[in-house]
């Protein structure tokens, strides 16, 4: 059997064997050994946020005369190297090998913070011609972690990652879907169809009106996404260090770090108004994900309605023709299924599940312990996953489904005149009870409302034509 070559590194607990070329050191290796649980490390988005945070922290400590210029430049360069590698999908996998700690680790995220500090220190050691693990000339705790604690850096990194990705990725993707739905609303505005409440025939509605409702849901989704950004960005825990008191940091450190992050990332970050709340709870994550859950539920409602209207093609409603993007069955030739719509609905289910998990993580006692929430890595994983899948499926739904939807005008026209609910337009003239009797009689005879009324001289033909004008029924009177 092949054996992995190792080197001897040490931390406050003593010596430990570490893979010989690993850019991390002993404390990270302990976490790797302690948590072989899911096989999934903390997301690259959070590691990237750590790079932005540690860079801003080093520059701020230099500004406050806490860190010398030479070490500041080294830390900034190392963090920039990590961030640049993570931003490129081609180099991301190799860089992420340096951050192997499992999601289900210490609940504060300490292992990931320590991991990042060690990697930065080792990158600098190699650049300086020193041995890996020597921590010369930059020490992971004394310099990279200066003025910080895992208890304020990990939640800050999560909020940075989530807020920036919601604003820069998820919200633009939702805007694409909203725009596609608005275009369909305009395209379908003159098509009158039968409304369906309780999945039963109702009064006429324009297909464009239904799609305008879908578009409005996604407009609200954009607003909810931006609200989630605000919930996360306006309450950074950085500066609270261990328990919120700010021990071992400068009073101006947090505000200056937030200012630098805002300029660098393009999101307005602010120091928490109360560091004890910001570190003892994860209410901002619970709140932000609640908005994401609402967006996901909107997506599911839209997808479900579109799937229903597209059912068929011969034995369903088939008011809509959805783009055929792949064969639908391994046994039924020619079958095409609404696969992308079903993907949207599954995303909504997953996000709803993540919301439950995040809510449990936010509970005092279940996910928290006094002055610190200890379910943070798990909560961050759910949060970043929801952001990613909502954005991705919104974009694909817009491009590969909504954009190509066509109205089946023939099927729609056949059903409108047959609806017994057209009798609703007669009620203001002949009364609810009489209109109800006519609808029931038509149901038994198979006649339309118009045919029955003409046969029984209920109203003059001209007045009947005016009252049963289905287009006029879709406008307020």
257 is a domain residue? no
Cα atoms found within 13 Å of the Cα of residue 199, Cβ hemisphere only: 6
In terms of domains, do 174 and 307 share one?
A: yes
Q: Which of 146, 173, 201 is the last residue of a domain?
A: 146
User: Catalytic pick from 27, 111, 143, 198?
Assistant: 198
In terms of domains, do 176 and 318 share one?
A: yes
Q: Which of 119, 146, 173 is the last residue of a domain?
A: 146
Please tell me the distance from the alpha carbon of residue 184 to that of residue 37, in angstroms, as a whole number. 47
Residues 6+ apart with CB under 8 A from 197: none
245 is a domain residue? no
Q: For the domain that residue 136 is a member of, what is the CATH number? A: 1.10.275.10
In terms of domains, do 403 and 452 share one?
A: no
Q: For the domain that residue 287 is a member of, what is the CATH number? A: 1.20.200.10
In terms of domains, do 142 and 180 share one?
A: no
In terms of domains, do 182 and 314 share one?
A: yes
Please tell me the distance from the alpha carbon of residue 249 to that of residue 228, in angstroms, as a whole number. 29
Instruction: Judge residue 226's burial from the number of C-beta atoms within 10 Å of its C-beta, 0-12 exposed, 13-18 middle, 19 or more buried.
Output: middle
Residues 107/370, Cβ–Cβ less than 8 Å = no
In terms of domains, do 127 and 206 share one?
A: no
Q: Note down the domain range covering 427.
A: 417-474
3-state secondary structure of 467: helix
Map tokens 């991705």 to a residue: 392
> From start to end of 265-400, where are the E strands?
320-321, 368-369, 372-373
Summarize the chain as % helix, strand, coil (round to 5): 60, 10, 30
In terms of domains, do 217 and 296 share one?
A: yes
193 is a domain residue? yes
3-state secondary structure of 11: strand
In terms of domains, do 89 and 204 share one?
A: no
In terms of domains, do 349 and 202 share one?
A: yes
**pLDDT of 1:** 45
Please tell me the distance from the alpha carbon of residue 412 to that of residue 203, in angstroms, as a whole number. 13
Q: Is the dihedral of CA 103, 105, 108, 114 positive or negative?
A: negative
Q: Which of 394, 410, 426 is the last residue of a domain?
A: 410
Report how many domains make up the chain. 3
In terms of domains, do 93 and 63 share one?
A: yes
pLDDT digits (tens, 9 = 90+) for 315-338: 999 999 999 988 888 888 888 888
**pLDDT of 366:** 66
In terms of domains, do 118 and 196 share one?
A: no
176 is a domain residue? yes
134 is a domain residue? yes
7 is a domain residue? no
Active site residue 198: yes
268 is a domain residue? no
Residues 6+ apart with CB under 8 A from 371: 243, 244, 276, 279, 280
In terms of domains, do 321 and 439 share one?
A: no
Q: Which of 404, 225, 386, 221 lies closest to 306, judged by CA?
A: 404
What torsion, rounded to 10 degrees, do the Cα atoms 164, 170, 175, 176 define?
130
Q: Where are the alpha helices (DSSP H) in 42-109?
A: 44-63, 69-87, 92-96
List residues bridging with 7 in a β-sheet. Answer: 18
State pTM to two decimals: 0.94
Q: How far is CA 432 from the centre of its chain?
A: 48
pLDDT digits (tens, 9 = 90+) for 379-403: 999 999 999 999 999 999 999 999 9
Rg (the chain; Cα; Å): 30
Please tell me the distance from the alpha carbon of residue 232 to that of residue 157, in angstroms, as a whole number. 11
Please tell me the distance from the alpha carbon of residue 367 to that of residue 379, in angstroms, as a whole number. 10
Residues 6+ apart with CB under 8 A from 467: 425, 426, 429, 459
User: Catalytic pick from 27, 111, 281, 329?
Assistant: 329
pLDDT in single tens digits along all 477 residues of the chain = 456 899 999 999 999 999 999 999 999 999 999 999 999 999 999 999 999 999 999 999 999 999 999 999 999 999 999 999 999 999 999 999 999 999 999 999 999 999 999 999 999 999 999 999 999 999 999 999 999 999 999 999 999 999 999 999 999 999 999 999 999 999 999 999 999 999 999 999 999 999 999 999 999 999 999 999 999 999 999 999 999 999 999 999 999 999 999 999 999 999 999 999 999 999 999 999 999 999 999 999 999 999 999 999 989 999 999 999 888 888 888 888 889 999 999 999 999 999 999 999 998 666 667 899 999 999 999 999 999 999 999 999 999 999 999 999 999 998 888 899 999 999 999 999 999 999 999 999 999 999 999 999 999 999 999 999 999 999 976
Q: For the domain that residue 449 is a member of, what is the CATH number? A: 1.10.40.30
101 is a domain residue? yes
């Amino acid at each position: 059997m092949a054996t992995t070559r190792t080197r001897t590194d040490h931390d406050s607990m003593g010596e430990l064997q570490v893979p010989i070329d690993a850019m991390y050191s002993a404390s990270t290796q302990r976490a790797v050994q302690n948590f072989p649980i899911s096989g999934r490390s903390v997301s690259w988005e959070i590691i990237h946020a750590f790079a932005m945070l540690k860079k801003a922290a080093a520059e701020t400590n230099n500004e406050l005369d806490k860190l010398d210029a030479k070490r500041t430049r080294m830390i900034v360069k190392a963090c920039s190297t990590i961030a640049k590698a993570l931003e490129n999908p081609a180099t991301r996998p190799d860089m992420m090998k340096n951050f192997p700690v499992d999601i289900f680790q210490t609940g504060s995220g300490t292992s990931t913070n320590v991991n990042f500090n060690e990697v930065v220190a080792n990158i600098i050691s190699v650049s300086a011609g020193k041995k890996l693990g020597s921590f010369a000339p930059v020490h992971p705790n004394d310099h990279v972690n200066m003025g910080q604690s895992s208890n304020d850096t990990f939640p800050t990194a999560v909020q940075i990652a989530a807020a920036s990705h919601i604003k820069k990725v998820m919200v633009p993707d939702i805007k694409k879907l909203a725009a596609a739905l608005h275009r369909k609303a305009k395209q379908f505005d003159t098509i009158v169809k039968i409304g369906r409440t309780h999945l039963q025939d109702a009064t006429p509605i324009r297909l464009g009106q239904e799609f305008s409702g879908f578009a409005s849901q996604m407009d609200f989704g954009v607003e909810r996404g931006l609200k989630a950004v605000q919930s996360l960005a306006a309450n950074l825990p950085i500066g609270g260090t261990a328990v919120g008191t700010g021990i071992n940091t400068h009073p101006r450190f947090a505000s200056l770090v937030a200012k630098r992050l805002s300029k660098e990332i393009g999101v307005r970050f602010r120091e928490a108004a109360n560091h004890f709340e910001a570190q003892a709870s994860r209410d901002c994550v619970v709140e932000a994900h609640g908005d994401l859950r609402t967006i996901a539920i909107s997506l599911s409602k839209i997808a479900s309605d579109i799937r229903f209207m597209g059912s068929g093609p011969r034995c369903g409603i088939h008011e809509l023709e959805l783009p055929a993007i792949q064969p639908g069955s391994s046994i039924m030739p020619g079958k095409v299924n609404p696969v992308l719509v079903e993907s949207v609905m599954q995303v909504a289910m997953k996000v709803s599940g993540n919301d439950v998990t995040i809510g449990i993580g936010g509970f005092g006692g279940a996910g928290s312990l006094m002055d610190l929430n200890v379910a943070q890595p798990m909560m961050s994983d759910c949060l970043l996953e929801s952001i990613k899948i909502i954005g991705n499926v919104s974009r694909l739904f817009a491009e590969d489904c909504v954009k190509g939807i066509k109205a089946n005008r023939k099927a729609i026209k056949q059903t409108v005149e047959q609806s017994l609910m057209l009798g609703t337009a007669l009620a203001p003239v002949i009364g609810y009870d009489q209109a109800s009797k006519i609808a029931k009689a038509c149901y038994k005879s198979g006649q339309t409302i118009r045919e029955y009324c003409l046969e029984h001289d209920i109203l003059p033909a001209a007045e009947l034509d005016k009252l049963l004008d289905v287009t006029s029924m879709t406008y307020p009177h």
